[in-house]
Structure 1
Amino acid sequence: MTEDQKIKKGIQYIINTYPPIIDYYEWKNKPNTIVKRNRPPDPVYYKSIEQFQSINMNCCSLSDTGKQGYKPHWHEKLIGRFNTFVHIPYLVRYRDKNNDLIVSETESFVALTNCGTPWSGI
């Protein structure tokens, strides 16, 4: 698979599992205190890979390491369960109770097998 094909597989996985769980912050005793984690109540879905890429310009890259530098065991590569991570920083869009559009940044590391199948088992 080409780099572009791998990135598109990762994006399609994000679209299929959208919306992600996001952190909701509040100013309490200190700034940016997480008060809850949940899926947004009224998500604005991405309609296609092309729309995702136009909203999240230059969003994606391939990486041998996942979140916080996680590196799969060499055995995962040997048996084909892991080929690469697709690092995807993107915008989560949803409407609040006043129907205002809220935009939140997040990122995902989608693992792909040697056959290009997205895999969340890592």
Structure 2
Amino acid sequence: MRKVKKRYYFMLLLLPFLHMEFKGFVNVLGYCEKKDANISQLYTEQELIDRAIEFLLIGFPKVGSTPEGRDLHIIPYKTVEEFKKINPNCCSVQDSAYDGFVQDLSIRKQGKSYGYVHMTYFFFYKEEGIPPEKWSELIEFDTCGDMSYPIRTGW
């Protein structure tokens, strides 16, 4: 009788752990609990790219500087369409930030990271004689398609 009781308690303690592991597993596969759907049902790749461009434009810098300390004024993009027109084939959606890197499993299990939008685009300056600069960034998104901090890979 005592063995049965111990097994019962053990199973009772094990159930919450198994439940959390199952939830983590479905998050890794792209399930968004808030919207009760998989990310592939919520957004196409193009919609994720457009969301990432919008996210980028919100915090787009207005001033850059040269190594000598001279301020350069950056011409901001006005719309997502303008950004895509000037930077065709700028963006792609991938599951890793770069070769060999995938976000930590504990973060993926929480649904806080699912993939990345890789972006390559140009900065144009208001000052005469300054050529445009090519920049690249990674914008991480979660299982609900919410964008998070950019990881700058080129300045």
- TM-score per shorter chain, which class? 0.7 to 0.9
Which one has the bigger helix percentage?
2
Aligned residue identity for 1:71: V
| C-alpha distance in 1 between matches for 2:104 and 2:145 | 18
Q: Give yes or no for the alignment of 1:42 onto 2:73.
A: yes
Aligned to 2:54: 12
Root-mean-square deviation (Å): 2.8
Instruction: Compute the displacement of 1:100 (Å).
Output: 4.3
Which of the residues 122, 131, 134 maps onto 1:105? 134
1:49-107 deviation per Cα after TM superposition (whole angstroms, max 9, x unaligned): 010000000110011222575320122221110111000000011122xx446310000
What is the identity percentage for the equivalent residue pairs of Structure 1 and Structure 2?
Answer: 23
Would you say how many aligned residue pairs link Structure 1 and Structure 2?
109
1:117 equivalenced with 2:146 (yes/no): yes
Q: How do 1:51-70 and structure 2 match up within 5 A?
A: 51-67=82-98, 69-70=100-101
- Partner Cα distance (1:61, 1:75) in 2: 25
Q: Secondary structure at the match of 1:15?
A: helix
Given the two structures, how large is their TM-score scaled by the length of structure 1? 0.75
The Cα of 1:42 is off from its aligned counterpart by 1.4
| Aligned residue number for residue 73 of structure 1 | 104
CA distance in 2, matches of 1:12, 1:37: 29
**Partner SS state of residue 137, structure 2:** strand
Give the residue type in structure 1 aligned to 2:49: I
CA distance in 1 between partners of 2:62 and 2:96 (Å):
21
| Residues 69, 93 of structure 1: alpha-carbon distance in 2 compared, 3 angstrom cutoff | farther
- Structure with the higher fraction of residues in strand conformation: 1
SS of match in other structure, 2:72: coil
